[in-house]
Structure 1
Amino acid sequence: MSVWIGVDLGTQSVRAMAVTGGGDVLGAAARPLTSHRDGPRHEQDPEEWWRALAGATREALRDVPPGRVAGVAVDATSGTILLADARGGALTPALMYDDRRAADEVARVNEVGGHVWERLGYRRMQPNWALPKLLWLLRDAPQGARPAHQSDFVNRRLTGHEVATDLSNALKTGVDLIEERWPAEVLDALGVPAEILPEVVRPGARLGVVCPEAAEQTGIPAGTPVVAGTTDGCAAQLGAGAQQAGSWNSVLGTTLVLKGVTEELIHDPLGVVYSHRAPDGSWLPGGASSTGAGVLSRDLPGRDLDTLSAQAAARFGPDPGSPGLSAGWPRAITYPLVSRGERFPFAAPDAESFTLGYPADDVDRYAAILLGAALVERLSFDYLDLLGAPADGEIILTGGATRSAYWTRLRADVLGRPVTLRENAEPALGMAVLAAGSATGGLDGGSPGEHGRMIRTRAVVEPSGADLREAYLRFVAELERRGWLGEAAARHARERTAR
């Protein structure tokens, strides 16, 4: 059976996995990365990416026969960019996904390209997006400098020659996802020469093969196909198996991120939802909230969260004597905002965390946070429905929150839907799935092919039947009263709840 290599270029580490077409992980390894932060600056050394990738892939492949390796794909952090020379060497440090030093360039980017960003559905760019950062880098660029996304830099090393960039990583650099090309008139007006821009291809396109020098360093056999990857968020979605229209991957960790699949491009008047392009040409809309489990360590410092989860389940979980009924529900609801300002499912830069009701103890406080996060998740799906995005397919939960059985069942109850848990939904697995799908014909809207067997389900959690509509409507009303949630979104949430 063939073995596929997936590489995840994260913020804190590079992780590599060697996965069979049947989903067996034959090897996995990670190497740490170093970040340099100073105020709005966040940089990394691109050469460290390559060293970390080489170390991780060599270890992951230690027990894999070379003749079985059939392809490799790499994902990267969205919006990370640097300048490279004609040979692919780094001329600048990499400006990472959250580097905000190009804030002064954003107004010009949105003034010149606003009509394109509007057509693409996201309406405007943000200071940490790659195009403003590229303009900032080009101010003092040496002759011959050209932009490279994080994945471009390592794919160039893997193949030994110039490579195309994928549409997913190029989104925040301004690529026209509808026409699948650079918007030449916009970039020319912004002073970005067309000749320095790489060719663009869909994720899953073949970029070349591993060259002998890269094989020597990485342990990936020379001649192995190198497949265009995607961003880390889209890679996680692939790993979760949310690949059919109407299916969604809800990632709840420090913050909440929703990513789904639609046949048509979603246009959001608020600009809080934006879409990537899938390998088969469909669309991958998503949004990232500023709420999530990060509040637990802030509001309950030093507490054992596993113990609190067990105590909350005993206090508020299903009544063993009355199947389908609960022993009670949290007395309070906390809007679990990790930092000031909300990004999704509404835009409210002044939003702050709050609690409705009065928690009696830490178990109540813990349950109130979990309930609030679940209600934000429900509101996110209601907002996506308002925009016309289908959400009638599988809902797959991933992220650290799935370690709590109580929280998972609570989310199913709030959504009123079954939720699916996967055995493994790492971005590195998503890249192995992408490499396999590219080779076996599963990325063109046809049959899933070999890569469909790489995604394994751990459990499907059904809702208990508990009625949480009153809590949800109370929460929606408070967000609307504070002026953060718009009238149309609040009304739509109430209408869907009443159905």
Structure 2
Amino acid sequence: MFVGIDVGTSLVKAAAFDRSGRVLAVEARPVGLDLCGGAVEQDAGEVYAAVTAVLEALTARVPEPVELAGLTGQGDGVWLVDAAGLPVRPAISWMDGRAHGLVDRWLADGTVEAVFRRTGGALFPGSPGPLLAWLDRHEPACLDRAAAAVCCKDMVFQRLTGAGRAVTDVSDASMPFLDPRTRSYDDGVLELLGLARRRRLLPAIGDPAATGEAGGEGLPAGTPLANGPYDLAACALGAGVTAPGDGLLIVGTCLASLVVTTGLDLGGEPAGLYISTDRPGHRLRAMPAMVGTAALDWVLATTGARHQELDALLAGAPPGSSGVRVLPYFAPSGERAPFVEPGLRADLLGVSLETRPADLVRATCEGIGYAARHCLAAAGLTGTLAVCGGGTRSAAWTRLLADVLGRPLRVVEGEVGARGAVLAAAGRYGVELDAGAWTRPTRLVDPDPDRAAYYARGYAEHLELLAGARERARPGTGPVTGVTGC
């Protein structure tokens, strides 16, 4: 069998596949997030324990030899580890907002733009550059003790294989220090961010992805394991999105819009990033928005509704949600795509005593759809569009997304990230798998022409409301502020 490991933000999963791509079994374990005044941290030890637990449970359920395994996981944030891959402090999540004030200053003084013009990646509070700069100011001793500042999957790979040094891959390295032309670190970016003296913390880049043998924890000793790509790029591979112009929308905690490109445009508004892939010259123009299912989770919890009721709630309100509008920017670190606005917060408009829970829920789903349309346009979508993620489990929301986006959707269900991790590992080890069979869509969803026309007008109104909200969110220049962590 082939095993894909997907270390998500709130859920760790391992999936077993046969050679045709059929799922044999899936094991999952939740992991916690610690939120405190805008800081969002994770216990790296808990995350690693969840990885080994799902792997042990999976291999016990499917007692077949493991031919190879691929690893993917959440990106960004900072996972400080020692030489053995053990945590030096709690991991800081990509959702963290403590560097908000620092990014505000860099937006004002041109640093964000200067970095984007070099790398194609726009800084946001939860990306490694601002977080390392914040730690350098507030917790320098942690950086002094650390051997490397890695991403989540890199910590897991080092510990599963017992590798003597930290290593990442070009996809995780893409933000924010990688020059996408040379596929190596740009020391000029480190200078711009005041991190030149911390250069030693950047892990080696495996290009192609690093490989190693499992040491016996979770996977049988000797199992070939490949590190990467990280979850956005793995999902694109697992959804069969590999042709220039084609796109993928991941409806998850992060609402990620990805478009395959062979170009590199470092102009325009600094936003999103270019994710380098294992094919030199091919990149993903990524707009990973902070809005996503987390916004819907909050609205459902606030209204007392359950996830199982989502389809019924969407059916219980008309298009336009009885006049209710939701700008779904609920993240404590603001928004990062298709623009960077750390101070942006959600708006609920048109709410009255007559507003029903169904109106709020549908307006939130519509608002997330408008945000996705904005991101896909900015990413340059010209071809087909695949969609995956937890949000696609709702047939009603998937139909709504097709209407809001005004285009057909290729729905790819199941463990898409884990599939991509296996396909990447197979490529790295020279194992031939039928990628077409592995990535065949589950169903196709076409938009309704009348509703699509209605939502095209609604999208224009969304952009007008968003412009006003962004203007209100912008601070004046001043001293660097932000949360101090937990």
TM category, shorter: 0.7 to 0.9
Q: Which residue is 1:166 aligned to?
A: 169
Give, in whole Å, the separation in 2 of the partners of 1:464 and 1:275: 33
Q: What pairs with 1:381-392 in structure 2 (closer than 5 Å)?
A: 381-384=376-379, 389-392=380-383
Structure 1 residue 296, shift from structure 2 partner: 6.8
Among candidates 131, 134, 156, match of residue 133 of structure 1: 131
For structure 1, which runs of at least 5 residues remain unmatched after alignment? 317-327, 443-448, 487-499
For 2:85, the aligned partner's letter is: G
Residues 1:396 and 2:396 are matched in the alignment: no
Confirm or deny: 8 A CA contact 1:9 1:75 kept in the other structure: yes
Q: Which residue is 1:178 aligned to?
A: 181
Give, in whole Å, the separation in 1 of the partners of 2:448 and 2:382: 20
Give, in whole Å, the separation in 1 of the partners of 2:267 and 2:101: 25
Confirm or deny: 8 A CA contact 1:81 1:130 kept in the other structure: yes
What are the superposed Cα offsets for residues 325-355 of structure 1, whole Å, 9 maximum, x if unpaired? Answer: xxx8765362341427554445554464244
Structure 1 residue 65, shift from structure 2 partner: 4.6
Structure 1 residue 169, shift from structure 2 partner: 1.8
Confirm or deny: 8 A CA contact 2:76 2:128 kept in the other structure: yes
Structure 1 residue 225, shift from structure 2 partner: 2.0
Instruction: Work out which structure has the larger RCO, using CA pairs closer than 8 Å and 6 or more positions apart in sequence.
Output: 2
Q: Which residue is 1:187 aligned to?
A: 190
For 1:284, the aligned partner's letter is: L
For 2:311, the aligned partner's letter is: S
For 2:326, the aligned partner's letter is: Y
Quick check: 426-435 or 99-108, which moved more?
Answer: 99-108
Q: Which residue is 1:439 aligned to?
A: 429
Confirm or deny: 8 A CA contact 1:421 1:460 kept in the other structure: yes
Give, in whole Å, the separation in 2 of the partners of 1:39 and 1:315: 35
- When residues 289 and 84 of structure 1 are mapped into structure 2, their CA distance, relative to the original with a 3 A threshold, is closer
Among candidates 122, 147, 150, match of residue 148 of structure 1: 150
Give, in whole Å, the separation in 2 of the partners of 1:145 and 1:105: 24
Structure 1 residue 291, shift from structure 2 partner: 4.4
Among candidates 73, 76, 79, match of residue 76 of structure 1: 73
For structure 2, which runs of at least 5 residues remain unmatched after alignment? 471-486
Structure 1 residue 418, shift from structure 2 partner: 1.7
Percent of aligned pairs with the same residue? Answer: 27
Residues 1:5 and 2:3 are matched in the alignment: yes
Confirm or deny: 8 A CA contact 1:259 1:287 kept in the other structure: yes
Q: CA RMSD in A?
A: 3.6
What number of residue pairs does the alignment pair up? 455
Structure 1 residue 413, shift from structure 2 partner: 3.0
Structure 1 residue 408, shift from structure 2 partner: 2.2
Confirm or deny: 8 A CA contact 2:40 2:93 kept in the other structure: yes
Give, in whole Å, the separation in 1 of the partners of 2:466 and 2:38: 30
Confirm or deny: 8 A CA contact 2:290 2:329 kept in the other structure: yes
- When residues 431 and 61 of structure 1 are mapped into structure 2, their CA distance, relative to the original with a 3 A threshold, is same
Confirm or deny: 8 A CA contact 1:129 1:172 kept in the other structure: yes
Confirm or deny: 8 A CA contact 1:375 1:472 kept in the other structure: no
Q: Which residue is 2:479 aligned to?
A: none
- When residues 480 and 25 of structure 1 are mapped into structure 2, their CA distance, relative to the original with a 3 A threshold, is same
The structure having more radius of gyration, on CA atoms, is 1
Q: What pairs with 1:167-246 in structure 2 (closer than 5 Å)?
A: 167-187=170-190, 190-192=195-197, 194-202=199-207, 205-210=209-214, 214-215=215-216, 217-218=217-218, 220-246=219-245
Confirm or deny: 8 A CA contact 1:72 1:226 kept in the other structure: yes
Q: What pairs with 1:356-375 in structure 2 (closer than 5 Å)?
A: 361-375=356-370
Q: Which residue is 1:58 aligned to?
A: 56
Q: TM-score, normalised by structure 1?
A: 0.78
Structure 1 residue 274, shift from structure 2 partner: 1.5
- When residues 247 and 338 of structure 1 are mapped into structure 2, their CA distance, relative to the original with a 3 A threshold, is same
What are the superposed Cα offsets for residues 107-128 of structure 1, whole Å, 9 maximum, x if unpaired? Answer: 5798778644322223x42232
What are the superposed Cα offsets for residues 251-272 of structure 1, whole Å, 9 maximum, x if unpaired? Answer: 2345632122111124463223
Quick check: 270-279 or 337-346, which moved more?
Answer: 337-346
Give, in whole Å, the separation in 1 of the partners of 2:421 and 2:279: 15
Structure 1 residue 280, shift from structure 2 partner: 1.2
Give, in whole Å, the separation in 2 of the partners of 1:87 and 1:305: 41
For 1:397, the aligned partner's letter is: V
What are the superposed Cα offsets for residues 173-193 of structure 1, whole Å, 9 maximum, x if unpaired? Answer: 512232111123443663335
Q: What pairs with 1:92-491 in structure 2 (closer than 5 Å)?
A: 92-102=89-99, 115-122=114-121, 124-137=122-135, 139-140=140-141, 141-142=143-144, 145-161=147-163, 162-187=165-190, 190-192=195-197, 194-202=199-207, 205-210=209-214, 214-215=215-216, 217-218=217-218, 220-253=219-252, 256-267=255-266, 269-281=268-280, 282-292=282-292, 294-295=295-296, 298=299, 301-303=303-305, 309-310=311-312, 313=315, 331-332=322-323, 334-339=325-330, 342-346=335-339, 349-350=343-344, 352-355=346-349, 361-384=356-379, 389-393=380-384, 395-440=385-430, 449-466=433-450, 468-477=452-461, 479-480=463-464, 483-484=467-468
What are the superposed Cα offsets for residues 205-239 of structure 1, whole Å, 9 maximum, x if unpaired? Answer: 242222xxx21x22x23332221213233333333
Describe the SS at the equivalent of 1:457. coil
Describe the SS at the equivalent of 1:205. coil
Describe the SS at the equivalent of 2:271. coil
Q: What pairs with 1:26-41 in structure 2 (closer than 5 Å)?
A: 26-41=24-39
Quick check: 228-237 or 191-200, which moved more?
Answer: 191-200
For 1:383, the aligned partner's letter is: A
Give, in whole Å, the separation in 2 of the partners of 1:146 and 1:468: 49
